[in-house]
């Protein structure tokens, strides 16, 4: 079946994978077909006049008309676009579709000889830089990356800690802080929690980037920009550190939850939020929820966990009973087979005896809170109190 492109009509496409490969020339078609063989996860689109007769078997989609009219369908559907067309032409064709770097797909351009693969759009957040290296390796081409932080092998501010699941609180200062980093100004990385092994380059951390354990130490260095990594909610007098700074939330908080059967998602959510606020912890730093195996199918609890995308870990009563708890309960044991649920579940997950909150009962919910700690290697510490 051939897609017939018509002005003003968004075409119907069959999206089966994360990446679309588009070609409009004889040589481009050959590169697209080779890439489809070498790289999994690609859907190929090229002009019907270059048909080879095996397109249906290979799920390759043919089109007729201006390729410009194909992009309104591809842009929102795919994680990345691999386009074998001249860079200038691609710029003109996709310009009306651009929104911002948090929404646009990664766009990679390949020249007609297949010699260069260029990261064109959304290099960091859209993954175009990584895709460029992957495509170049697949077809034996040269990867062209122009993002300053990648070229200089320094910290990519918008991706800092991303491989660990860190998220930034606000995008407001991403641009000026990135500029300070690539311009080699004084940068303070203030890290109170989270994985410490975030530097991935073979060379040492540049001299203009210094690590600090506290906001007080970082502020004293009078930096031009700050990357602050913490699960804490900042106190009013601390917030000025972010005048030219980005706040990152590492995934370090572990919640132990016990609840009566049938407890609503609304009540569980409210208890979680109130508890974290009392501890001055950010809900964006929650990594996992732990409980007893009996709660594997607890609807309200599962609804809350799914809504936040948290990990859910359960333990058997026997496992929970291997952990020392401060106030074992015969009543809880009678109903569950464990002397406690929320407290030992968190201790098992984190490997720590010391918790930020041992246990709190609120209505139908019991909650405990722990914080992950890490060795210098980046591995979670176990059994440290």
CA distance linking residue 280 with residue 278, whole number of Å: 5
Inform me whether the pLDDT recorded for 202 exceeds 80.
Answer: no
Residue 137 CB partners (closer than 8 Å, separation 6+): none
Q: What is the domain range of residue 68? A: 2-146
pTM of the model: 0.69
Inform me whether the pLDDT recorded for 188 exceeds 70.
Answer: yes
Question: What are the φ and ψ backbone dihedral angles of 67, each rounded to 5 degrees?
Answer: -60, -25
User: What CATH number corresponds to the domain at position 320?
Assistant: 3.30.420.180
* pLDDT tens readout for residues 127-175: 777 788 888 888 899 988 776 666 556 787 877 887 788 999 998 998 8
Tell me: do 8 and 115 sit in the same domain: yes
pLDDT band at residue 126 using 50, 70 and 90 as cut-offs: low
Maximum CA extent, the chain: 77
Split into its structural domains, the chain has a count of 3
Mean confidence (pLDDT) of the chain: 90
Mark which of 208, 230, 247 sits at the end of a domain: 247
**Percent of all residues in the chain with a pLDDT value above 90, rounded to a whole number:** 68
Judged by average pLDDT, the poorest of 77-81, 129-133, 317-321 is: 129-133
Q: Which helix (H) or strand (E) is 270 found in, with range?
A: helix 265-279
Mark which of 191, 226, 247 sits at the end of a domain: 247
User: What CATH number corresponds to the domain at position 195?
Assistant: 3.40.1390
Mark which of 146, 178, 207 sits at the end of a domain: 146
pLDDT at position 57, please? 86
pLDDT at position 383, please? 44
* pLDDT tens readout for residues 349-380: 999 899 999 999 999 999 999 999 887 656 66
* pLDDT tens readout for residues 14-29: 998 889 999 999 999 9
Residue 327 CB partners (closer than 8 Å, separation 6+): 340, 359
Mean pLDDT of the region 286-302: 96
Q: Does a structural domain hold residue 89?
A: yes
Please, which contacts does 200-209 make with residues 24 or more away whose CB atoms are closer than 8 Å? Answer: 201/153, 203/153, 206/154, 208/184, 209/154, 209/155, 209/181
């Amino acid at each position: 079946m051939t897609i017939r492109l018509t002005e003003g009509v968004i075409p119907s496409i069959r999206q089966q994978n994360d990446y679309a490969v588009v070609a409009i020339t004889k040589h481009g078609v050959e590169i697209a077909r080779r890439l489809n063989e070498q790289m999994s996860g690609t859907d190929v689109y090229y002009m019907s006049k270059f048909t080879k007769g095996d397109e249906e078997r290979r799920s390759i989609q043919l089109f007729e008309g201006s390729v410009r009219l194909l992009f309104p369908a591809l842009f929102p559907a795919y994680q990345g676009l691999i386009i074998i067309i001249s860079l200038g032409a691609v710029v003109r064709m996709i310009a009306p579709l651009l929104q911002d770097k948090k929404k646009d797909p990664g766009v990679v351009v390949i020249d007609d000889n297949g010699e260069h693969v260029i990261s064109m759009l959304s290099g960091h957040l859209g993954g175009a830089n990584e895709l460029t290296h992957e495509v170049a390796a697949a077809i034996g081409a040269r990867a062209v990356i122009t993002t300053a932080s990648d070229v200089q092998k320094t910290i990519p501010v918008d991706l800092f800690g991303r491989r660990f699941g860190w998220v930034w609180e606000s995008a407001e200062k991403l641009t000026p802080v990135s500029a300070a980093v690539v311009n080699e100004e004084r940068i303070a990385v203030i890290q109170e929690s989270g994985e410490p092994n975030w530097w991935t380059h073979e060379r040492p951390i540049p001299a203009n980037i210094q690590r600090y354990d506290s906001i007080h130490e970082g502020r004293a260095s009078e930096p031009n920009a700050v990357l602050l990594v913490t699960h804490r909610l900042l106190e009013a007098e601390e917030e000025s550190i972010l005048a030219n700074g980005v706040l990152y939330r590492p995934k370090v908080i572990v919640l132990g939850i016990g609840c009566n059967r049938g407890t609503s998602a609304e009540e569980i959510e409210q208890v979680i939020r109130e508890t974290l606020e009392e501890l001055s912890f950010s809900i964006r730093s929650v990594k996992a929820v732990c409980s007893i195996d009996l709660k594997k199918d607890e609807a309200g609890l599962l609804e809350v966990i799914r809504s936040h995308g948290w990990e859910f870990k359960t333990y058997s009563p026997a496992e929970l009973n291997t952990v020392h708890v401060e106030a074992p309960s015969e009543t809880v044991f009678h109903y569950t087979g464990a002397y406690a649920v929320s407290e030992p579940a968190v201790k098992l997950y984190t490997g720590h005896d010391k918790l930020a909150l041992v246990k709190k009962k609120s209505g139908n919910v019991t909650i405990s809170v722990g914080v992950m700690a890490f060795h210098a290697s980046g591995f979670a510490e176990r059994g440290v109190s």
